[in-house]
Amino acid sequence: MGFITWIIFGALAGWLASKITGNDANMGAIANIVVGIVGALIGGYIGNNFLGTGGVDGFNFTSLLIAIGGAVILLLIVGLFTKKDRNNTKE
């Protein structure tokens, strides 16, 4: 895939993953693109090495699902480290 295709693909995958995890209000376009591209790398790694499904190999539905899955994993992991304790908030 070309550079522009990666940006469009990353934006779509990152946006959908942020919708799934409920982070859409906290993320902008650049964050969606970065999360989508990194998610494609994570999903491709998991698909190739553990699931046997292959990685992201073009702009198609299977690759989009792999990228969204990787982006959701990324957002959940980041959420574990950045989530503030809501029970101990001071008013």
- Does a structural domain hold residue 84? no
At 90 the pLDDT is 54
Average pLDDT for the chain = 81
DSSP H or E segment with residue 45: helix 29-46
CA distance 70 to 42: 5
At 73 the pLDDT is 92
Count of the separate structural domains present in the chain: 1
Domain that holds residue 63: 3-78
| Cβ-contact 70, 78 below 8 angstroms | no
- Residue 77 class from Cβ within 10 Å (0-12 exposed, 13-18 middle, 19+ buried)? exposed
Considering the entire predicted model, what is its pTM? 0.79
pLDDT-derived band of residue 71, with 50, 70 and 90 as boundaries?
very high
- Does a structural domain hold residue 85? no
Length of the chain: 91
- Does a structural domain hold residue 23? yes
